[in-house]
Amino acid sequence: MGPDIVAYLQGIDATLGPYGGRFIIHGGQPQMLEGSLQGDLIVIAFRDLQSARGWYGSAEYQALLPLRRGNSEGDVFLIEGVDADHRPR
């Protein structure tokens, strides 16, 4: 892990706090039951999509972003979650 990624990891928490973001998955060894996963899985939860968009577009995160982009590859997307009492119908 190079110094740019270390700097990114050291700085990201401070960018998440104002938007209520928190890591719920950050790497770890998956136990694959079906399909395949390439690389690491990282999931950050926010209270809503507006908060997630605000964080990603913030000047603080945008300043860190080149450190990640220049040293790693991956897909980044936002997706709306469900409430804790959600039931499939």
For domain 3-30+40-69, give the CATH number. 3.30.70.100
* Mean pLDDT, all residues of the chain: 93
| Rounded Cα gap, residues 28 and 51, in angstroms | 26
pTM of the model: 0.86
| Rounded Cα gap, residues 52 and 20, in angstroms | 9
Q: Assess contact for 37 and 30: CB atoms under 8 A.
A: yes
**Over 80: is that where the pLDDT of 86 sits?**
yes
How large is the average pLDDT for residues 20-38? 92
How large is the average pLDDT for residues 58-80? 94
What is the residue extent of each domain of the chain? Answer: 3-30+40-69
